[in-house]
Structure 1
Amino acid sequence: MDQENLRGLVGRFKDARVLVVGDIYLDENVFGVVTGISLEAPIPIYEVRERRYNPGAAGNAACNAASLGATTYMVGYVGKDANADIVLNELRAGNVDTSGVVVDAARPTNTYGKLRAGGHNILTQEILRTDTPSPAFVAGKTESDIIANIEARARDVDVIVVVDQVSSVVTEQVLRAVVECARKHDLLTVGDSRNRAGAFQGFDVLVPNDREAGLGAGIDVIDDASLNAAGKALLSVCENVLVTCGPAGIRVFAKDGVIEDVPIVIDPRAVVDVTGAGDTVTAAAALTLSAGGSLREAAAISNAAAGVAVTQPGVVTVSNAELEQALGGAGRPAKLKRHNELKAIVERMKKEGKSVVWTNGCFDILHAGHITYLMKAAQVGDVLVVGLNSDASVRAVKGPTRPIVNEIDRARVLSALEFVDYLAIFDDPTTEPLLELLRPDVYVKGGDYTIDTINQAERRLVEGYGGKIVIIPGIEGKSTTAIVERIATRLIDEMTRKGAAQ
């Protein structure tokens, strides 16, 4: 598949106008530590350190559509409570228009919570999940207001996305109104439902996972044959179906009868949390099709977006830049991050109690000395971030004949190492600006350095914010310069022998 064409489609996401209809959830992630056992009961004492909030379900799909570049409108309902204010503020912060969200004082705002506990250098883990009671279908004024808001906004959008998480907002009347608006204004309709995919009669595309496809079709999906049967059955409901199949990627069922698998390219070991990934897929597929992409291209781009989402904890949004990078933008490997992206990642890792390790170098022609050094660096913390000298920076340090390998290829080789978590390319003569930005817990230097011969401005900075400095000795005789010299010597010897032979 033409990656340049895929990136071109992603570039057109900014022109899309999307209306997202469905169940709005507030996802609350609470981080803390267990400090002891209660004196009143045999239960742990949980000390809350941080709360993070994200819109979930249809709200997550809307935030992903907006983050990917689309002008996005949200229609659904919230209660009249504190959680409503939080989720609406989060939606607005994500550039989602919430003027179509109905307030129903008789209902609580749907809220889903995860409590995670950890500690210093101890990975966090879930200890409890919370949820509001399962809501009933909307009716009366709430339902009629939702339909009115759909009809009022349909004339201003290109695509309507419907996300049915808990069978509350998406009633038969709401579905009927969506289809009628789509016909009237020539709109694309994309749907996703946890249990009721079979109810989305007349939609252009459905995007269920394999289990949801089976539930919608009334078929127990247990193998390839039953999955195909479910996908074909749903074609009697809608025009096309994209079934997400976890690590296997997406299976495309087209209205012309073609069935095709589009694999996802991601190391399963990189998967952290799949929560909300289906919403990311739905948003990416809708925008790709709205931009004129094919079903296969929609599947490929959606796979890439999901691949970004599942490598991060909790419900997350995927940016247009992250998606372009995941599609191989400018040949960049996924572990290679822009500086501000890396700053956000490092802050998140620290909040989870992980120790972040920083080291840097040219790593031109990766050799056994590099590998040993990086392995040892990774062992002194939880997350290894490698700063990579840019090509211009290497030339300034090593001379005009270096680097041998360009910066993107060097980053690609380093990213293949399991113990390297993230990479950043820098142009500056020193890493002081990046150290100031990231403030890693551990700063590692190698080779012949001592604590007194490393860059002293970097030393003062790290020690000033309380970071630790670790020196890892190099391996004698293992260097890129030595390798280049051996290659040159052997080449000269070979040329000399050939000249003598002639």
Structure 2
Amino acid sequence: MDATRNPLVLNWTGRAPRILVLGDVMLDRALIGSCERISPEAPVQVVDVRESRRQLGGAGNVVRNCLALGAEASLVSVIGADAAAAEVRALLTDCGAGDQAVFAEADRQTTEKTRVFAAHQQVVRLDTEVRTAITRESEDRLLDCLQAAGPLDAFIISDYAKGVVTERLCRAAIAWARNRGLPVFCDPKGRDFTKYSGASVLTPNRREAADAVGYPLSDAASIERAGRQLRETLKLDHCLITLGEDGMALFSAEGVHRLPSRAREVFDITGAGDTVVAALAVACAAGTDVRRACEIANIAAGLKVAKLGAATVSRDELAAELARGPHGMPPSAKIKTRDEIGRIAAAARADGRKLVFTNGCFDILHRGHTELLQAAAGMGDVLIVGLNADRSVTGLKGPDRPLQSEDDRAHLLAALAAVDYVVLFDEETPLELIAAIAPDVLVKGGDYAPDAIVGADLVRARGGQVRVVPLLAGRSTSAIVRRLT
């Protein structure tokens, strides 16, 4: 979409914002399965694990979110010298952040969090961690890394109270960043927030803010009192309190700005705070003012909580949601290029969402088409429709077709609620497009034998499914054309 027409779009040009993150990195594991029985050994659920995932958590998840939003991001942290540490380093290298400023303490245990999911619900979480402060030697090494850092646009402190963000280190890091003219974004923990004094933006959630001020944030008046108190006593430029289903409240010199929640459905709040601070920092680093950046962060948080686990929000997803506005996404925002749909598919797959693909000419949209698309949408989380371009339709149907241009056909498909994305293809078959998207479910309408469907072998080779949805009798573009003539 055209960034110049929407002030909320991350619209930097020339280069990506450069973000440095200091904080507690951890290894997040997710065991995903189903639960249909109780153990005969004890009154506990039995989860049949079908999938295992690992990813960066804590400050590492903040880095992942910054990268997903198109920024350059690196991490400054301390871990152990154990097997989990090796996995953390490998994940940092794989995502492009690198581990050059991540140091090991031989006697330290790397934090691990293992979450067990069944039917999209978190059943239990297992934590393996230490919370002792890092050594003074480690503090000095981290400070040396800050001093040696190259050009930056923003600095994030992601404190998970696992011992990396000590009071001495935190105060020195904020002073270093402010002396360099960098905005400092702090995601805090604990009851005493004084070590975050002088930050540009502090982002506590409701409970964290309540712990810090010593009273519950139960209504608008108490929230406003707490926000003003934190901002004034800590000498913050801004304080952003996240309020879950009640949205956010931004406290600045100009007063308070309330933002309603943008979440349409909530599956899992894990990592929502990481998404907020990352989106806020990236938007500000790209030149957006803080109030607008908070609106972007609020939208990003709404996208994140609809995903399972510590998922990230991509720049493409955020741009599409910004285009959606309060009244729904316009059709044009659903129509993607092949490169765009490849990135969207990869991001959805990384977040554990099931991709469904179908294709066709859709020359005159009719009930048979809509029932096919509705059925396909129910087979997964994201429905991508491959649409034959005009040249492809002519090659398949003859010189008198299509009856409607590819642009009109794409917009009509995109206007349907069942359709998430539309992508055009010029080839006679969608084989190359299917290979690029790598769907979990391939759907075709009609009387096809599953093995005769183009791309069936590719999908099955990846462990996916091929489904055939019978079309309604007498409903076809050709039949409509015959009646009209």
Checking the alignment, whether the CA contact within 8 Å between 1:17 and 1:159 is kept in structure 2 is: yes
Report the counterpart of residue 243 of structure 1 in structure 2.
241
Q: Residue 493 of structure 1 corresponds to which residue in structure 2?
A: none
Whether 2:225 is the aligned partner of 1:226: answer no
Report 1:232-311 matches (<5 A).
Answer: 232-236=228-232, 237=234, 238-257=236-255, 259-263=256-260, 265-266=262-263, 268-269=264-265, 271-311=266-306
Q: Is the 8 A contact 1:335 1:421 kept in 2?
A: no
- Correspondence 1:169 to 2:186: no
Q: Which moved more, 1:24-33 or 1:474-483?
A: 474-483
Paired position in structure 2 for 1:188: 183
Q: Secondary structure at the match of 1:226?
A: helix
- Measure, in 1, the Cα distance between the counterparts of 2:284 and 2:455: 52
- Deviation (angstroms), 1:135: 0.6
Partner of 1:341: 344
User: What is the one-letter code of the residue matched to 2:241?
Assistant: V
Paired letter, 1:142: S
How far off is 1:26 after superposition?
1.0
Tell me the TM-score normalized by structure 1.
Answer: 0.78
CA-to-aligned-CA distance 1:408-442 (integer Å, 9 cap, x gap): 5334322x23xx56655444332333445566565
Q: Which residue of 1 aligns with 2:327?
A: none
Cα shift at 1:189:
0.9
Residue 219 of structure 1 aligns with an amino acid whose one-letter code is Y
Q: Which residue of 2 aligns with 1:429?
A: 428
Q: Which one-letter code corresponds to 1:77 in the other structure?
A: V
- Whether the 8 Å contact between 1:250 and 1:262 is mirrored in structure 2 is yes
Letter matched to residue 406 of structure 1: D
For residues 335 and 212 of structure 2, the distance between their equivalents in structure 1, rounded to whole angstroms, comes to 35
User: C-alpha deviations, 1:107-161, integer Å up to 9, x for none?
Assistant: 21011111235xxxxx4544431002451333432333333333332x6323221
SS of the aligned residue for 1:235 comes to helix
Counting only pairs closer than 5 Å after superposition, residues 20-419 of structure 1 correspond to structure 2 as: 20-32=21-33, 49-117=50-118, 123=119, 125-153=121-149, 156-166=151-161, 168-196=163-191, 198-199=193-194, 200-236=196-232, 237=234, 238-257=236-255, 259-263=256-260, 265-266=262-263, 268-269=264-265, 271-328=266-323, 331-333=332-334, 338-342=341-345, 345=348, 358-363=357-362, 368-378=367-377, 381-383=379-381, 385-389=383-387, 391-392=389-390, 396=394, 399=401, 401-403=403-405, 406=408, 409-414=411-416, 416-417=417-418
Which amino acid counterpart does residue 249 of structure 2 have in structure 1?
R
Matched residues in 1 for 2:302 and 2:113: separation?
23
Unaligned runs of 5+ in 1: 118-122, 490-502
- On the 8 A contact 1:369/1:474 being kept in 2, the answer is yes
What is the deviation of 1:404? 8.2
Q: Distance in 2 between matches of 1:156 and 1:366?
A: 53
Q: Write the letter of the residue equivalent to 1:85.
A: A
C-alpha distance in 1 between matches for 2:270 and 2:89: 20
**Contact persistence 1:462–1:469 (CA under 8 A):** no
Q: Distance in 2 between matches of 1:365 and 1:217?
A: 62
Counterparts in 2 of 1:484 and 1:57: CA distance versus 1, 3 Å: farther
Cα deviation digits, residues 380-420 of structure 1 (max 9, x gap)? x4556342415536863672540486355334322x23xx5
**Larger mean Cα displacement after TM superposition, 189-198 or 43-52:** 43-52
Question: What CA distance in whole angstroms lies between the structure 1 residues aligned with 2:46 and 2:295?
Answer: 46
Alpha-carbon distance in 1 for matches of 2:366, 2:244: 36
Taking a change above 3 Å as real, the CA distance of residues 371 and 224 of structure 1, as seen in their structure-2 partners, is farther
SS of the counterpart of 2:152? coil
TM-score, length of structure 2 as denominator length: 0.81
Deviation at 1:286, TM superposition (A): 0.9
Alignment correspondent of 2:328 = none
* Structure 2 CA distance for aligned equivalents of residues 484 and 248 of structure 1: 56
RMSD across aligned C-alpha pairs, in angstroms?
3.9
Cα separation, 1, equivalents of 2:11 and 2:268? 24
For 1:361 and 1:211, locate their aligned partners in 2 and report how far apart those are by CA, in whole Å. Answer: 51
Tell me if the contact between 1:217 and 1:230 (Cα under 8 Å) persists in the aligned partners: yes
**Distance in 1 between the 2:422 and 2:372 partners?**
16
> For the Cα contact (< 8 Å) 2:80–2:107, is it kept in 1?
yes
Aligned amino acid, residue 51 of structure 1: S
Aligned residues: 467
Contact 1:151 1:177 in 2 (8 A): no
Q: Check 1:93–1:126 CA distance in 2 against 1; reply closer, same or farther (3 A cut).
A: same
Flag the structure with larger Rg: 1
* In 1, Cα distance between equivalents of 2:40 and 2:247: 50
Describe the shift of the 1:263–1:364 C-alpha distance in structure 2 as closer, same or farther (beyond 3 A): farther
C-alpha distance 323-374 of structure 1, shift in aligned 2 (>3 A): closer
CA distance in 1, matches of 2:114, 2:408: 46
